[in-house]
Amino acid sequence: MTFWRYLVSLNIALLLLWVSSACAAQQSKLLLAEQPQLDIIKKALSNRHQQSPQWQALINDAEQALAMQPLSVTQSPPLLPGGKPNDYYSVGPYWWPNPRTADGLPWIKLDGERNHQFRGKDADNEMFFTLSQACFKLGLAYHYTGEKRYAEKLQQLVEFWFLNSGTAMSAHLNFAQGVPGVASGRPYGIIEFRHLLVILDSLTLTKNATDDDFNQAFNGWLTQFLNWLKTSEIGREQNSKLNNHGTYYDALVAGSHLYLDEVEQARAVFENSKKRIIAQINEQGLQPHELSRTRPFHYSAFNLLAFTQLAKMASQADVDLWRYPDKRDARILKAFDYLLENADNRALWQGKSESEIDTRHMIVPALRIHGHRSGKTQSGNKQLPLIPNHLINATAAQEITMCKLLFSYELNLTKQDVGSGNFACTL
C-alpha cells in the first residue's frame, strides 16, 4: 500500500512539474511585458478589490474593445497603384502634394510636418495601432480576471485582420509609407508594424483560452511575414538603417522569432544588434543619428525605447545587451542617463518642431532599466527614482499612472497621478 501511495504521489509531482514547466515556457514568451511583474500586480489587485483608477481605465477600455467592430486593411481604399485590397497601404507621414504641379506629383517631404489628411483614423497604419491597443487591453483584462470573453474577442479581432478569407492582410508591407509619384512603398513603412509585438504578447497572455487551429494559422501567417522581412529588398534595406528604423526592425524580427520558439534565429539578431548599439550610441550616450531630426529629444527617446525592447528580449536568449560592450561602457544605460541628465539643456535639443520636451517615451525605459540595475524584476519593494517632476508633462504622467498595471515598482512621482482617461502604456 505504501508503494502505491508513493507511486501516485510521484506521478502527481511529475504532472505538477510538467504543468509548471509548460506554463513557464509559455510565460517566457512574453516579449515586452514582464511575467513576474504581472503576477505580482495580479495578486495585489485581488487584495485591493480592484479599485484603482488605472484598473478602472483598463476594464472600461476592454469593455469598449468587446463592442468594437473588427478591423481589416480591406476597409480602406488603396492609395497607390499596383496593389490589391488585402495589401497594407500607408503614406509617408511627412510627405505632401507638390504645390508647384497641377496633379500634385511628385509629393514633397516636409520633415516634422505630419500630413494628417492621409493618415487619419481610417488609414491602415492607424487601424493597426487601434487593433494592437485593443488586443493588449483584452489580453491584460483576461490575464487579470480570467474571463474568457476577453480572450474570445481578441481571437476574433486577430482572425479578422490576419486570417479570415476576404479580410486577411497579405503577409508583406510592400506598400507601406509609399509616396505618390515617388515610390509605391518604402522601407520606412516597416516601423509602423512595431506594434505587432504588443499583439504577440496579447496572444501569449490568452494562449490557454484560444484553440490550436487558430494559433497554428496565426503562426503560419507570422512565418510568412517574417520571411518577407528578412528576404525582401525593402526588409533588407530597413535592416541597414542606422537609426530608430533599424532598431525597431531588429526588435520586430527578433521578437517574431522568439514568439515562434526560434531562439537561435533570435539570438543571431541580438548578436547583430550589438553592432547597432556601437554605431548608434557613442561613448557619452549621445545618439548622433537622431540629433539631425526636427525633434531630436523625441527621436532619441523613441530609439532608446526600441533598444530597451531588444535588451529585454535578448535576456530570454541569454544575450546581454544591457551591458554591451562591457559593464563600464554600457551604451544603452549611458543613452538613458544622458537623456535624463540633459533633458533640461535646450541647447542640445534645437529641433524646429520640438517646442516641448516630451518624456513619455522615457517612462518604460526607466522602468526596465530600474529592473535591470536593481535586480528587482520579481519584486516591487524598491522605489523607482523616475524622471524629475518638472519634466513630466501630461502624456508622461498618464503613461506613469497606467504603467502601474504592468510594473510593480513603487513610482516616485510627486505630481498627482492622472486618475482618469484611457489605459495607455507604450511598451
Q: What is the pLDDT of residues 309-322, one digit of tens each?
A: 999 999 999 999 99
DSSP secondary structure letter of residue 418:
P
Confidence band of 415 (pLDDT split at 50, 70, 90): very low
pLDDT of 83 reads: 82
- CB-CB contact of 321 with 311 (8 Å): yes
Evaluate if residue 144 carries a pLDDT over 50.
yes
* Farthest-apart Cα atoms in the chain, separation: 94
Chain-centroid distance, C-alpha 151:
19
For residue 325, whether the previous peptide bond is cis, meaning omega lies within 30 degrees of 0, is: yes
pLDDT value at 17 more than 60: no
Tell me if 295 is assigned to some domain.
no
Q: What is the pLDDT of residue 229?
A: 98
More confident residue, 188 or 371: 188
Flag whether 401 is in a domain. Answer: no
Mean pLDDT, to the nearest integer, of 211-225? 97
Rounded to whole angstroms, the Cα distance separating 365 from 307 reads 9
Going from the C-alpha of 135 to that of each of 34, 195, 256, 330, 336, the distances in angstroms are 17, 11, 17, 34, 29
Query: What value does the mean pLDDT of the chain take?
Result: 87
Establish if 258 belongs to a structural domain.
no
For residue 426, what pLDDT is reported? 83
Q: Considering its fold, how many domains does the chain have in total?
A: 1
- Residue span of the structural domain in which 153 resides: 53-189
Rounded to an integer, what distance in angstroms lies between the CA atom of residue 277 and that of residue 293? Answer: 19
Give per-residue pLDDT as tens, 259-279: 999 999 999 999 999 999 999
Q: Evaluate if residue 114 carries a pLDDT over 90.
A: no
Q: Give the pLDDT mean for 226-248.
A: 98
Residue 324: closest CA among 389, 372, 257, 379: 372
CATH number of 150's domain? 1.50.10.100
**pTM (predicted TM-score):** 0.90
